Structure formats: C-alpha cells, structure tokens
Amino acid sequence: MIRLILSRIGLGLLTLLAVSVVIFVLTQILPGDVASSVLGQSATPETLAAYRHELGLDRPAVVRYFVWLAGVLHGDFGTALTNGQNIIEVLWPRLRNTLFLAGYAALLALPLAVGFGILSAIREGRLTDRLANIVALLAISMPEFFVGYLLILNLSVNHEWFPSLATVGADTPFGERVWAVTLPAVTLTFLVTAHMLRMTRNSVLSTMSTAYVEMAFLKGLSRARVVTRHALPNAAAPIISVIALNLAYLVVGVVVVENVFTYPGVGQYMIDAVTKRDVPVIEACGIVFAAVFITLNTLADVTAIVLNPRLRHPR
Amino acid sequence: MTEDRSHLSARTGLVLDRRDLMTSAAALGLAFGALGGPALAEDAPKKGGTLRLGMEGGSASDSLDPRTYADSVPIDYGYQIFNGMVEIGDNGEAVGELLESWETKPGATEWVFNVRKGITFHSGKTLDADDIVYSLNLHRGDTKSAAKDLLSAISDVKKLGPNQIGITLSTGNADLPYNLSDYHVLVVPNGFTNWAKPDGTGAYALESFEPGVRVLTKNTGHYWKPNRAWYDSVELRYIPDAAARSQALISGQVDAVNRLDPKTVGFLMKSPKVSVVQTKGTGNRFAFVALCDDPSYTSNDARMALKYGIDRQKIIDTVYKGFAQVGNDTTISPASPYFAQNTPPHTYDPDRAASLYKKAGSPKFRLQVSEGAFSGATDAGVLYQEALKKAGIDLEVVRVSGDGYWSNVWLKAPFCAVYWGGRPTVDLQLSQTFISTANWNDTHWRDPAFDKIVTEARVELDDAKRKQMYAEAQHLIADNAGMVCFAVGDYLDGYAKKIRGAKPHPRYDLCDQRVAEKTWFA
C-alpha cells in the first residue's frame, strides 16, 4: 500500500513536470505575448521592445523556461509579468475560495447522488428510480449559466434570500461566506449530481446478477440489505473514480459559475492570465489544477482498495 | 471584456459653456438623466458612507503602474489614488489639476506650466516641479508606456523653478494641455518606483489591491480640491458579467455600475431603485477599415461603394439596440463641436453602391471580423454582408480569433473590423489615424493636402478658422479614406437613486471615471 502511494507520488511529480513543459510550449505557440496583449491596440514597436526588455522576454524561450523551473524547484513561483504581484500570495486565497466552493458543492452533491443512486438501485424500475433519473438528467441538461441565472432570478431578485454576488474576501466570516456561496454551490450541485447518481445506480445493478448476490437473496435477505452489504462494496471502485472525476471538475471546471456569481476563484485568474499571456501565472494555475487531478485520482484508487478486500490482497 | 482595450481617451476640444450644454443637450448628444428621471438632482453635498462600484473593464492582471493602464477599472482607481496634471471639465475644457495654469507663445512650441502649491502626497512629501518632470518622463524615451506616442512631440522638459516647469515641443501644438489630461499621465513623487505601494495626491489612499476581485481605498481626509471627495471609503468590485452587474445594482449590493447592457437597459429603467445615465455618441467609434493600397480597394469608387452599401441605422438598431449614433466615416464624434455638420451623410443607397462597384471593376471584397476587435463586430459584419447583397455586391465575411487580433490582423488584413476610442483633441483623433506617417494609419490612406490642413490647424489659435479647417479635413476623410465608421457608441451608467452629483461627461463614463470624488450620498 505504502509502495503504491509512493510510486503514485513519484509519477505525479513527473506528470507535473510534463504538464509544465506542455503549458509552456502551448503558450509559446499562442499568437502575441504579454507586451502586445497589455499594450493592445496602442502598441508601437518601441514600446513593445521596451516592455519585453524590462520583463526579460527578449531572452530565448528555453532559457526562460529553465529559469522559471529553477525558481519553482526552490519553491518560488515568481511574480506575474503583468503586475509584478507575487503569484503564490495571489493564488493561495483564490485557491482556498475555489476549494471552499468545491467542498460546499461536494457536501451537497455527494450524499444526494450516492443516496439516490443506491435508492434507485434498490427500487429499480419503480417510481423513485424513474423520478430520480429524470430530475438528475434535467438538471445536467441545462447549461450552468442558465441554472445560475434562474437561481438568481428566483432566490435573489424575486425573493431576496441570497446575494447574487458571491464576492468574498479573506476577512469574510464563515457564516457569511457560506451564505454568499450557497447559490453557486447549488448551481454546481445541479451539474455534477446526475453523473454520480447514474454511475452509482448502474454499478450496483451490474453486480446484482452475480452468483454471490443471488446467494444472498437465497439466504432470504431483504433487497435493501443485499444492495448495501453485498452489491455496493463490490461496485465501489467505478463509483469512487467517477466521484473523483466530478470533484476534480468542481475545482477546475467552474469558471462559468465563477463569472456568473463574480466569485474570486482560480478559474478567472487563469483565464485573465491566458488572455494577457502571463506565462508564470498560467503555469502556476495549470500545475495547481494538475495536482488536484493527480491527488484526487490517487485518493480514489487508495479508497477503492481500502473498501474492497479483494483488491487489498491481489492474487 | 476586451472590448475597451485602450484609448478610451475621448475627445475634448469641446468648447461650450454650461448654458449651451443644458439648453441644447439633445442636439449635442449629451443627454443627462434622459432615461432615469429626475433622481440625480443637486442637493447640498454631504460626507460619509462607502461607495461601492461594480465595474467591467479590468482583469486579474491589472497593475497600479499608470503606464500599463488600458481599461476602465485601472483608470478609475488611478483617479482615486493619483491626480492628473490637467483635468477635463464637465464642459470639455482643459482645467488645471496639479498643473495649475499655463501659457504659451505663438507657434505653441514653448510652454510654461505652473505647479500647484501646497499639495502633499499620501507619504507627506510636498509636490514640486521635480515630481512633475519625473512623472512626465515616465512616458518619454525608452519606455513601455502606452502614452509614449501621445507625448512624442515633447522634445524637452525642464524645471524652471521650484513650482514651474518648461516644455518644448518639436512641432507646435495648441492642445498640449489636453494631451497632458491623458489618464496615463498621473503624478508620483520624484524617483518613485514601488508601484505596489502607490503614493499619490488623490482623494483616496490605497487600502487593499486585489486585481480581478476588488480595490479598496480610504479617504485621506485632507483632499486639496474644494467640494470633492465625500465618501469615507470606496470599494471597487470587478463584475465582468453584465447581467451580474445590473443585478447587483438592483438588489443594492453596489451603488454604481458602468457599461449597462443595451439589451436589458429597458428593464433596468423600470426599477424604482435605479437611475440610468446615457451619454450619447462619445463612446467607441466602430468601424471597418480597408487598406487603400490593397488591389481590391485602390479605387475610391470601390471604397465609396462600401460606404454607401452599409445600412448603419439597421446595425445600430440591431446590434446596439439603438444606443449608438450614426457615424460618418471619420473618428470624430457627432457630439463634438468640431464635427463637420455640412459633410453629407453616407446614407444607405444600394443603387448608388451598385453603380460605384461596377465603375470600380467589381473587385473582390473580403472582411475579417472578430469579437476581439469589438463586441458585436461579427453581427455587424453579417448585417453589412446582407446590405451589400441588395446592391449585388458579394462580401465574404470571415470570423477570426480575438487572440492576438491587434498584432496579427489589424493593420495587416486588407479589410477588417476596428474600434477607435475618443481622443482628448480633434487633432490627436485625426493625426494618430489618418496622417500619412501615423503609426496607426489603419487605412494606408495618404493625402498631403489633408496632412497640411491638420498640421496647420494644430497651431491655429482662432477657433472659428480651426473649426473650418477640421470640417475640411473630415470631408476629405469621409469621401476618400478607407474607413467605414458606421456607429459611435453611447455610454450607459447605472446609479442607485441615493447617489447625487453624477453628471454625464464629454470624455468617459462614470463622471469621467472620477465618480469617487465627484458624487455623494443623499
């Protein structure tokens, strides 16, 4: 187990390095650079040259990459090219915001998805099952900005229960923060529930036709007990990986929701950096996102092994 | 979001007195409170409160260094923290700010400016001529400043005394004070370099700077301008989404917003909590530009066919929901007193376009549009295509990426979309775009007669004569150059009803981005 985790961490670090190279190459292929993006229409050849020289952009790309990499290996992600702000200092509060929103949405979505998924499996083909599926599919079929605007219209315009702006700062008290982030969290719940719900239901059902489940029924156990005690642990692995995928999505894929609710997360920071070709910021955001993916996937594998004795003792 | 990238600098050169402004507001296109009712009437100003602004026009990469300002949000916090050298008054005239007064000799190459006395920076330092010289030189020589081109005629800046500086120009310019009103030209102490901790003379000092999220400032309590700066503090929030912005205003989460969405402004006007202020025809100039030296557009008949073949009103009604004014193929705003009223408008005339097109030998037209040029460019291009079709002219419309649009498409493509912001003076407006040698001559139109008129008007001190010269210059552009400027945008601001003192301004929206020092709570 420890060996597995260690090898995962090693592979993860290699992946991060590869990601950083890919991002750097991609930013070099994009048209324009930070000087031409900031100066925009008002650029002249002289101001562009002065800007590039000031930022050291007149050095070869390979040199810039390795200077950056050397900094990162010393724990220094550098400063933004556009405004000279320390990237870690700016990124950290935004990452906390992103994780807070993702965590909140996960708290709402996970019990809902897994609970109703299991319930659907127990009552396969009956009204609860049908209803849960229809509602979840409806929710996922609506684009997230539409869900967001609907929630704003109903819960913050027609009834002023929640704020439409989710702008929070470091000094926002916890209660207020929860209140401000509720609408975006509910919007995200709409988005991710269906996938996890259907995966739970279908994985459980697919183990229902196995011999040991039949044996459990023959012992005279109730359907609910068979599903939760015998089918579910064996169905856990695919469910957990889908959950991990959705959790990762909650962290990295929420830029539209951030925009609708004006939430200061990492997504908008990265989009702004890409627009302005601020390479060190793009790299930092990309690495954070990649790290989230790798961590969640590793956690998913480990949890699946812990939950399922057969995977713990491979033959 | 990239719509207003830079050069929001609007025209001035607008010379008219307050009474003119009030009595002929409609004719001038400065409609104040036209949509919002009588809510913003004057009361006696009073102190107190936190002004909460919700704005588009900024990003997480914004900096405090004025040399990099390019959009509304930085301009706004710039004017909270710093002062400019020259301010543009509500009637469009240059008014002394940190440069109190000035004089020049005939020819307008030698200038003397007096530095205002008794002004202190937030750090406690007293303002003197060295600070002004340093702040000007930030934009001169080897610099990344976007204002470099604007001030390129300055050949020398020197200190004449503790409170006096001299500026020498390589070519005369009667409008120098207007150039110095540019939003990049803000004043910092001599030798200042620590932009993360800005030191200005503005009404508000920086408390917290989170670009892309919010900017907090606090009243210093001893601002030098009388009757200004009423709020205890200002919270500027970045709200890039137009729907979120108007929503925040209606629900009272912010007190003022910029760039209301023309599509929904009608609903907003129905809210009892909100006033809408429309400033007509001082916003961005939306245009398509053809290169006069490209084979398809070398014939002036071809260019005129393009000008008569566009249905301007239809684009304005469809794309801008009526919140724009018809442009007449120059970048001079129809609201400017120097606007050439006597140049016949190029109204949509398919028959005329068709015959001009045949005369030109039916060249192939291909237009490149992008939302990176300005928002609505694609829709405008498609409507243009439809209008030309009625004249039997084929226009191929190609949509290109907004990424790198200004470096890869504009100034290079034979026919493409562009916007031009207003400039402080008619001279700048014309000479940066249409003079033969201009850096940004995006039509490659070169006419020595035009160059001569503009150069002469620059040093002409008789306003009536100047007006005539500018009219002639505009006439030449409209009938010869490769620019199809079909619309000039309106500014749409939204204010909470409790805000007082907000007026439309001939330059920018939100009271020339000085909303924090000009308005107060009832």
To probe the interface with A, which of B65, B143, B144 has the most A CB atoms within 10 Å? B144
Per-residue pLDDT tens digits of chain B, which is 522 residues long: 333 333 333 333 333 333 333 333 333 344 444 444 444 455 789 999 999 999 999 888 899 999 999 889 999 999 999 999 999 998 888 999 999 999 998 888 999 999 999 999 999 999 999 999 999 999 998 898 988 888 989 999 999 999 999 999 998 998 999 999 999 999 999 999 999 999 999 999 999 999 999 999 999 999 999 999 999 999 999 998 888 898 899 888 999 999 998 888 988 888 888 999 988 888 899 999 999 999 999 999 999 999 999 999 999 999 999 999 999 999 998 888 899 988 889 999 999 999 999 999 999 999 999 988 888 999 999 999 999 999 999 999 999 988 778 878 999 999 999 999 888 789 989 988 999 988 889 999 999 999 999 999 998 888 899 999 999 999 999 999 999 999 999 999 999 999 999 988 988 999 999 999 999 998
Residues of B with Cβ-Cβ distance to A264 under 8 angstroms: 210, 212-213
List all residues 6 or more positions away from B285 whose beta carbon is below 8 Å from its beta carbon.
B327, B331, B333, B419, B420, B421, B422, B485, B487, B488, B489
CA distance A179 to B54: 20
pLDDT for the residue numbered A140: 87
B61, B250, B407 ranked by CB distance to A83: nearest: B61
Q: Across the interface, do B404 and A169 touch by the CB < 8 Å criterion?
A: no
pLDDT for the residue numbered B37: 41
Q: Note which residues in 278-307 of chain A have CB less than 8 A from chain B.
A: 278, 281
pLDDT for the residue numbered B344: 87
pLDDT for the residue numbered B24: 34
CATH topology of domain B1-18+83-194: Dipeptide-binding Protein; domain 1 (3.90.76)
Tokens, residue A254: 């929420």
| A-B contacts (CB, under 8 Å) | 146
At A40, phi and psi to the nearest 5? 55, -130
How near does any CA of chain A get to the CA of B408, in Å?
8
How near does any CA of chain B get to the CA of A257, in Å?
11
How much is the ipTM here? 0.82
Q: Across the interface, do A44 and B404 touch by the CB < 8 Å criterion?
A: no
Residues of A with Cβ-Cβ distance to B63 under 8 angstroms: 82-84
How near does any CA of chain A get to the CA of B154, in Å?
16
At B452, phi and psi to the nearest 5? -65, -45
Residues of B with Cβ-Cβ distance to A85 under 8 angstroms: 196, 211
Q: Does B476 touch chain A (CB under 8 A)?
A: no
SS3 B449: helix
Q: Across the interface, do B251 and A160 touch by the CB < 8 Å criterion?
A: yes
To probe the interface with B, which of A51, A167, A168, A261 has the most B CB atoms within 10 Å? A167
Q: Does A167 touch chain B (CB under 8 A)?
A: yes
Residues of B with Cβ-Cβ distance to A80 under 8 angstroms: 61
Residues of B with Cβ-Cβ distance to A159 under 8 angstroms: none
Residues of B with Cβ-Cβ distance to A27 under 8 angstroms: none
pLDDT for the residue numbered A303: 84
**CB B217, CB B122: distance < 8 Å:** no
Where, residue-wise, is CATH 3.90.76.10 in chain B? 1-18+83-194
List all residues 6 or more positions away from B15 whose beta carbon is below 8 Å from its beta carbon.
B91, B92, B93, B337, B463
Tokens, residue A289: 């996102």
Residues of A with Cβ-Cβ distance to B239 under 8 angstroms: 165, 262
Name the CATH architecture for the domain at B42-60+202-279+491-522. Answer: 3-Layer(aba) Sandwich (3.40)
Tokens, residue A284: 């930092």
State CA B89 to chain mean position distance: 15
Where is pLDDT greater, at B158 or A3?
B158
pLDDT for the residue numbered B107: 86
Q: Across the interface, do B212 and A264 touch by the CB < 8 Å criterion?
A: yes
CA distance B110 to B268: 51
Tokens, residue A131: 């209803």
Say how many Å lie between the first and final Cα of chain A, rounded.
Answer: 15
Residues of A with Cβ-Cβ distance to B241 under 8 angstroms: 259-260, 262
DSSP label of B284:
P
What is the helix (H) or strand (E) element at residue B266, kind and residue range?
Answer: helix B265-270
CA distance B512 to B75: 9
Q: Does A259 touch chain B (CB under 8 A)?
A: yes
pLDDT for the residue numbered B2: 37
Where, residue-wise, is CATH 3.10.105.10 in chain B? 285-489
Percent of chain A with pLDDT over 90: 37
pLDDT for the residue numbered B421: 85
Q: Note which residues in 371-410 of chain B have CB less than 8 A from chain A.
A: 401, 403-404, 406-408, 410
CA distance A211 to A209: 7
Q: What is the mean pLDDT of chain A?
A: 88
The strand ranges marked E within B172-268 are 204-210, 214-219, 233-238, 256-257
Q: Which CATH number fits domain B285-489: 3.30.465.10, 3.40.50.1000, 3.10.105.10, 3.40.190.10?
A: 3.10.105.10
Residues of A with Cβ-Cβ distance to B144 under 8 angstroms: 35, 39, 47-48, 50-51, 54
Q: Across the interface, do B146 and A39 touch by the CB < 8 Å criterion?
A: yes
Where, residue-wise, is CATH 3.40.190.10 in chain B? 42-60+202-279+491-522
Q: Does B6 touch chain A (CB under 8 A)?
A: yes
Tokens, residue A293: 């993916």
Q: Does B120 touch chain A (CB under 8 A)?
A: no
Q: Across the interface, do B59 and A167 touch by the CB < 8 Å criterion?
A: no
How near does any CA of chain A get to the CA of B242, in Å?
9
CA geometry: angle B135, B138, B140, nearest 5 deg: 120
Q: Across the interface, do A82 and B61 touch by the CB < 8 Å criterion?
A: yes
Q: How many CA atoms lie within 13 A of B247 on its CB side?
A: 26
What is the helix (H) or strand (E) element at residue B487, kind and residue range?
Answer: strand B483-489
Nearest CA in chain B to A80: B61
pLDDT for the residue numbered B331: 93
Residue type, B406: W
**CB A208, CB A231: distance < 8 Å:** yes
How near does any CA of chain B get to the CA of A30, in Å?
8
pLDDT for the residue numbered B160: 96
**CB B330, CB B477: distance < 8 Å:** yes
Buried/exposed code over A139-157 (b: 16+ C-beta within 10 A; e: otherwise): bbeeebeebbbebbeebbe
Residue type, A86: N
SS3 B409: coil
Say how many Å lie between the first and final Cα of chain B, rounded.
Answer: 32
pLDDT per position as a tens digit, A227-246:
888 888 888 888 888 999 99
pLDDT for the residue numbered A285: 94
Neighbours of A119 (CB within 10 A): 18
List all residues 6 or more positions away from B16 whose beta carbon is below 8 Å from its beta carbon.
B28, B91, B92, B337
How near does any CA of chain A get to the CA of B108, in Å?
26
**CB B305, CB B360: distance < 8 Å:** yes
Q: Confidence band (pLDDT; 50, 70, 90) for A314? A: low
How near does any CA of chain A get to the CA of B33, in Å?
25
Q: Does A172 touch chain B (CB under 8 A)?
A: no
**CB B373, CB B287: distance < 8 Å:** no
- Domains of chain A (ranges; CATH) run 2-73 (no CATH), 87-311 (1.10.3720.10)
Q: What is the mean pLDDT of residues A18-25?
A: 94
Percent of chain A with pLDDT over 70: 97
Q: Across the interface, do A42 and B210 touch by the CB < 8 Å criterion?
A: no
Q: Confidence band (pLDDT; 50, 70, 90) for A84? A: confident
- Bridge partner list, B120: B126
